[in-house]
Amino acid sequence: MLLPRVVITGRPNVGKSTLFNRLVGARLALVADTPGVTRDRKEAETVLAGTKLLLVDTAGLEEAAPESIPGRMRHSTGQAVEQADLVLFVFDARSGLLPEDVHFATWLRRTGKKVLVVANKAEGRGGAAAAMEAYSLGLGDPVAISAEHNEGVYDLMRDIAELLPRADTADEAAENLPLHFAIIGRPNAGKSTLMNHLLGQERMITGPEPGLTRDAVAVDFTGPDGRLYRLVDTAGLRKRAKVDEGLERMSTSSSIEALKRAEMVVLAIDAMQGVQEQDLHIARLVEREGRGCVIALTKWDALDDRASARQAALDRISISLSQMKGITLVPLSAETGEGIGRLFPAIRATYEKWNLRVPTSALNRWFESALERFPPPLVEGRRLKLRYITQVKARPPSFALFGTRAEQVPDTYVRYLVNSLREAFEMPGVPIRIMLRGTDNPYHEK
């Protein structure tokens, strides 16, 4: 059976070859700041989110005479697109959509091929907002990534796998994909002991000495609910100032990489020590990466006053982690098995909320109610006019807010909307993104 073909295309110098190397996991294609480095198609087999495929890197799309080198490169790219099961149309989010991008997007739309728009070079928090411009192309939901810095790439891998044709039905294929979650936390928080218990075997070396785990170790298994999981145990994350050895630096990088690959995160916190500042720092890292999170209070069997310990943890988290309000806490003991039965239902419930898509009608009703309850504030003596909101993606739930001068909405009002969304649609412990999008005033300066 032929492998599904995924073709990467776009203008010159938008990062196609960098993305190709990242998805393949090797530097197979030459990369430079000079446009037009790639001239011939380059192909490589790879596996993305459990799906084996053939990835094709192509020359940059340019309008040129057929007999010229750019013209022949364009013809070669056109042949690759004709054979593609999925086309990744890449544009540079830093420079925004150029007329050439719009031209070639129109051409791709007319081919009838399945297209996934990729906004590359979209580093940092502003990346998703920059990607929103691509909705004007009419090619569906864009994906914001930075191939060079490996941001958003694992979400892209999952999206690619879901869009490709499969031998199974779509429902069966989705069901067969394992839920990918990582166990992270400070050193000696009981992460490896918890993994061993979940797997039912001594898979990881454990002991009282902190720092025994160095690599991020992934294992596939079937959970007690009969579903597939891919579990990653990671090295403990210490404060950056305390990470001094080269080997520990590599272990820390491996743990953060595992976090980026995961869909869900179990944050292991030593219940005997309570919630420390480093635990909160790790939780904020999870939120910034947009992952769903469940907190496991480990070593629960060693506590005498459990009610006080649980309340202290809840209080500290509610005060210091307002951006993950309502996050689920599961007290457990990997040594005795106490509380383990509640972990998988908590992971699944949070995963469902992380994948949530809010119906448009319900979102509109909520938006009207939220504006009535607390109207937008005055900015520079004028009230902001917020017109509508739409959900642009799930995983995590992300929304675009449109209105006159919407980009000037204060952070405090955005937090109010996020908390209201979380409460209205029951999304505890899930990161929620709201991107602000101003609309042009046709009478401005006229």
Q: Which domains does the chain have, with CATH numbers?
A: 5-170 (3.40.50.300), 178-354 (3.40.50.300), 360-439 (3.30.300.20)
Point out the residues of the chain with pLDDT beneath 50.
29-39, 167-173, 203-215, 241-243, 246-248, 250, 442-443, 446
Q: Give the pLDDT of residue 236.
A: 58
Pairing type for strands 179-185 and 143-144 reads unpaired
Q: Which of 123, 122, 146 is nearest to 134 (CA)?
A: 122
Angle at 84 between CA 82 and CA 90, to 5 degrees: 100
What 8-state DSSP symbol labels residue 33? S
Residue 261 and residue 154 in contact, taking contact as beta carbons nearer than 8 Å: yes
For residue 54, which phi and psi values (nearest 5 degrees)? Answer: -110, 120
Tens digit of pLDDT for each residue in 191-245? Answer: 888 888 888 765 443 444 444 444 455 678 888 888 889 888 676 565 554 445 5
Contact 399, 433 (CB under 8 A): yes
User: What pLDDT, on the 0 to 100 scale, is given for residue 399?
Assistant: 93
pLDDT given for residue 231 in this prediction: 85
- Quick one: pLDDT at residue 257? 76
Q: Which two tokens stand for residue 195?
A: 């993994």
Helix axes 153-163, 16-24, angle to 10 degrees: 80
pLDDT at 175: 53
CB atoms within 10 A of CB 417: 22
Number of alpha helices (DSSP H) and beta strands (DSSP E) in the chain: 13, 17
pLDDT reported for residue 125: 62
Give the pLDDT confidence score for residue 69 in this predicted structure.
52
Query: What local confidence, expressed as pLDDT, does residue 36 receive?
Result: 43
Report the candidate in 180, 195, 283 with the shortest Cα–Cα distance to residue 233.
195
Give 409: exposed, middle or buried? Use CB within 10 Å, 0-12, 13-18, 19+: buried
Q: How far apart are CA 356 and CA 441, in angstroms?
A: 33
**CB count, 10 Å around CB of 352?**
12
Per-position DSSP letters for 258-298, written without gaps between them: HHHH-SEEEEEEETTT---HHHHHHHHHHHHTT-EEEEEEE
φ, ψ at 227 (rounded to 5°): -100, 160
- Cα gap 196→269, rounded to integer Å: 17
Token duo for residue 386: 């917020």
pLDDT of the residue at 207 = 42
The single residue listed with the structure tokens 């940092």 is: 124
Nearest-10 Cα torsion for 55, 60, 62, 68: -100
pLDDT tens readout for residues 364-408: 999 999 999 999 988 888 888 999 999 988 889 999 999 988 889
Alpha-carbon separation of residue 163 from 5, 48, 115 (angstroms): 11, 12, 9
The reported pLDDT for the residue numbered 349 is 94
The pLDDT assigned to 59 comes to: 76
Looking at residue 32, its pLDDT comes to 41
